[in-house]
Structure 1
């Protein structure tokens, strides 16, 4: 059994004047959401054998917030291919994961993360997949499980989406209307 977790970066600031999209930081709501997700990881006792993240500023700051909320380091490695990656590129990274790892957390961007869920889970496979189809909000954590022995065996429509937790599910103040 192999398990992939996907975490989309938290809400970034469009008000901060940066030259490159890559350098956009989180806004205050994004920092709160990242810490909230970290507390969720702590409360659910979720741990990852391998964490691979985009090196974009908003992802690094998301990881900082998650780690603060979780009260522990995640030990992320960074791979520039994740920045704005397509689902096939993300799947290549999954296939390259160390054989001994059972759980993998990818931290990155949309639409790649959302598209990876659509690639790896069967169409019409449940309520959670329908929620992804509606929207994959910032700072949302998804989990897919695969009944395979090796990461290289993960293939299209072979997974089951077992978790889709949005910040607003954990704290309604982090919802779209802020209530």
Structure 2
């Protein structure tokens, strides 16, 4: 059994004249990421390995989760292949994971994460919003056999604010 937790970066700010990779989080992005991280922490299921896109907004979201989880700065790995919007880079990254790892959390971007959740999960998600989280389980032993799995959990920040 293998598990992937996909976390889309928090809401980013467009008010700064910076490259796409350098865009920071808005305060709403910070707050939503904390809400989702705390909700997920309630499941007592922190993955074995955590990876993030190098983009500022994804990296910042990852750091918020690490803080909520009580993990150190060196608890995650930055991987440039995760700065991907189509999903192809993320899928290739997943297929190359070591089989000794059974569960991962990945911080990254849309359209990639909505597509992956819909292609490989069994629950349709119209759009994974910023700070949204999807947990997918796979009945496989080898990551290279990555195929259709089941959607175990979806956390949407807006639904936590009701």
Q: TM-score when scaled to structure 1? A: 0.83
Q: Tell me how many residue pairs correspond in the alignment.
A: 161
- Name which of 148, 167, 170 aligns with 2:140: 148
Aligned to 1:175: none
Residue 153 of structure 2 corresponds to residue 170 of structure 1: no
Query: Residue in 2 aligned with 1:116?
Result: 116
Determine the structure 1 residue equivalent to 2:80: 80
- Counterpart of 1:3 in structure 2 is 3
Q: How does 1:123-138 map to 2 (within 5 A)?
A: 125=122, 129-130=123-124, 132-133=125-126, 135-138=127-130
**Structure 1 alignment gaps of length 5 or more:** 173-179
| Aligned residue in 2 for 1:139 | 131
| Runs of 5+ consecutive residues of structure 2 not aligned to the other structure | none
The list of structure 1 runs, each at least 4 consecutive aligned residues, that deviate by more than 3 angstroms after superposition, is none
User: How does the TM-score come out when normalised to structure 2?
Assistant: 0.92
Please say if 1:159 is aligned against 2:158.
no
Distance 2:67 2:51 in 1: 18
* Structure 2 CA distance for aligned equivalents of residues 99 and 84 of structure 1: 23
Residue deviations 1:131-177, cap 9 Å, x none?
x12x210001101111111111112xx211111101122233xxxxx
3-state SS of 1:119 partner? helix
Question: Pairwise CA RMSD of aligned residues?
Answer: 1.5
Deviation of 1:55 after TM superposition, in Å, equals 0.4
SS in 1 for 2:17: coil
Matches within 5 A, 1:1-40: 1-18=1-18, 20-40=19-39
Structure with bigger gyration radius: 1
Per the alignment, in what secondary structure is the counterpart of residue 3 of structure 1? strand
User: SS of the counterpart of 1:39?
Assistant: helix
* Bigger mean CA offset, 77-86 vs 146-155: 77-86
Q: Which residue of 2 aligns with 1:62?
A: 61
